[in-house]
Structure 1
Amino acid sequence: MADSDNTTTLPSVTLGREMQSPLTKECAGSSAEAPLSHDPALLLSLAWIDAHVEMLASSVRQQQEEEGLLERGALLPTGALVERGEGASADCDDLDGREEDAADKADALLAEIAATPAQSLAGVIAKLAVVVREANDNSDLFEFPLPQIRSALADLRRLAHDAICDQPAGDQSIGALFEQPASSFAAWRAFSAWSQGDDEAYRNWTETFKTLQGASQ
């Protein structure tokens, strides 16, 4: 299944309309680093994982719809089955379209990330974390060069710790945010939207979280 982790714990955030996240928090005492919220590579990476998680959720919804259709069809007479099947087919087509749209958006963002120079060490970390996440969820890829990328990512996170984040032990780093399971990321995004008073985004991310969480159980 796309998301096998049941964790629902969210990263540490500040409640209120002006919530700071691990992705937008500027680091004190780092004059050599551009503000994280102004790094285009970092922002593109966040947009990519949004699209990637939505693609996973759409895939799960489609699978659930198809399984439900088969279960309902076994209990219906032939005439009713044909009528019900036509309506379900339209629903599945809609889900197919949503998954394809999210996949196309994610692919376009991947290309844009590769063409966008990072302005901070956090941006470099985010770009590498995107590669690792995409490779982990793509079973067609070979193991190489994942071990080498993971090693470089770990080195960057270690070397950049003092420059990028002066946060208490236990706070999530940029790379850790991208590497968490899809359901946990969706939960974090839902909480972020709620903290900022964005009701529509909150409902959408809550639905995505419930879909992915249900698929992992």
Structure 2
Amino acid sequence: MADSEDSTTPPAVSWRAILRGTGALPPAKKTGGAPSDPALQLWRNWQANHTQVVALTRQWQRIETQLIHSVGFPQVTIRLSGEEEPKIAHSVDEIEELLADEPEAERETLIAAFDAQQKRWDEAAATLGFDAVDAELRAALDKESDFTASVPTTKAASLPGIAAKLSIVIQLGEPSPKDTEFPWPELRSALADLARLASPEAAISPL
């Protein structure tokens, strides 16, 4: 059943959405077409962007895995005299630093090998659209940082708004939804308490 636009008591499904951070927030009272609770609007904006961050991260990881399997990371292996274990250089600067005391010809050979590997990586990355996805992900992460920075200064006008702010903090900070280390069980319990107080008939169970 659809909720009234004037409803201030969210149904159970909406509260579960806030608790888990995976669904729509309950509708809030509106004034002039804008939500009455800034914290709810912040949550909506943050959640939409966070969903994009998750999707782009997975896409980024898939492409990176393809690149690793097809061409390998841009790097070279350096074996230094007197060292049992080889060193891995991931840039020209690292090569020059590791081989500072070695003959110039050796440095040039390894730099040329690194440049060739970097070129293969760049060409494959361009074909797979890696740079475009990377740019989108960085932009989405910047937006997420901006939304997160707004949490302390955004004043909630309702219990759902308080829950929305707390939900952002929990989603960003907890290592996993069932982490048992302090303070995550306590914060999830507080979030469930907010839901219970705002909607006692919903009988929300803590996560």
Q: TM-score range by the shorter chain?
A: 0.5 to 0.7
Deviation of 1:29 (Å): 8.5
Give 1:35's aligned residue.
29
Give 1:199's aligned residue.
none
Number of residues paired by the alignment? 139
1:63 corresponds to 2:99: no
Deviation of 1:94 (Å): 1.9
1:114 corresponds to 2:152: yes
Greater Rg by CA = 2
1:145 corresponds to 2:125: no
The answer on whether the counterparts of 1:45 and 1:113 sit within 8 Å (CA) in structure 2 is: no
How do 1:112-191 and structure 2 match up within 5 A? 112-136=150-174, 143-161=181-199
Deviation of 1:142 (Å): 9.7
**Inter-partner Cα distance in structure 1 for 2:56 and 2:155:** 31
**Inter-partner Cα distance in structure 2 for 1:45 and 1:29:** 17
Q: Secondary structure at the match of 1:115?
A: coil
Whose helix fraction is larger, Structure 1's or Structure 2's? 1
Percent of aligned positions with the same letter in both sequences? 33
The answer on whether the counterparts of 1:55 and 1:103 sit within 8 Å (CA) in structure 2 is: yes
* TM-score of the pair, normalised by structure 2: 0.54
Structure 1 alignment gaps of length 5 or more: 1-11, 14-21, 75-80, 180-217
The higher-RCO structure (CA 8 Å, 6+ apart) is 1
Cα RMSD (Å) of the superposition?
3.9
Q: Secondary structure at the match of 1:114?
A: coil
**Inter-partner Cα distance in structure 2 for 1:148 and 1:26:** 31
Deviation of 1:82 (Å): 7.8
The answer on whether the counterparts of 2:125 and 2:131 sit within 8 Å (CA) in structure 1 is: yes
Question: Greater CA deviation, 128-137 or 108-117?
Answer: 128-137
Structure 2 alignment gaps of length 5 or more: 11-27, 73-116
* TM-score of the pair, normalised by structure 1: 0.52
Amino acid at match of 2:198: A
Give 1:52's aligned residue.
50
Q: In 2 relative to 1, CA 159–29 (structure 1 residues): closer, same or farther, beyond 3 Å?
A: closer
